[in-house]
């Protein structure tokens, strides 16, 4: 029996954003993806961007008077 994944409609990607690269940047990106056998470049770039953003937000989060667990996603919904 094949099981289907139940997907949360809130997590469905419906927003598009375009990134422009110059020839050198695109060449480096293609070489990196070929070297490390990355097939899905969209997923790779999305994960790299989100990882960088979340790390920066987490580093900038004030901790002097920490009032419990912080959740970065709840702030930006």
- Give a yes or no: residue 29 inside a domain: yes
- Give a yes or no: residue 53 inside a domain: yes
Question: What per-residue confidence (pLDDT) applies to 71?
Answer: 63
Does this model's pTM top 0.85?
Answer: no
- Give a yes or no: residue 32 inside a domain: yes
Task: Count the domains in the chain.
Answer: 1
> Where is 32: in which H helix or E strand?
helix 23-35
Estimate to the nearest angstrom the gap between the alpha carbon of 1 and the chain centroid: 32
Q: Could you list the residue range(s) of the whole structural domain that residue 42 is in?
A: 21-60
Tens digits of residue pLDDT in 14-66 = 999 999 999 999 999 999 999 999 999 999 999 999 999 999 988 887 766 66
């Amino acid at each position: 029996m094949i099981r289907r994944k139940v997907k949360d409609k809130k997590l469905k990607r419906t927003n598009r954003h375009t990134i422009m690269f110059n020839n050198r940047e695109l060449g480096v990106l293609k070489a990196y993806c070929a070297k490390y056998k990355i097939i899905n470049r969209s997923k790779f770039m999305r994960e790299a961007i989100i990882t960088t953003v979340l790390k920066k937000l987490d580093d900038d989060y004030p901790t002097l008077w920490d009032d419990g667990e912080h959740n970065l996603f709840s702030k930006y919904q």
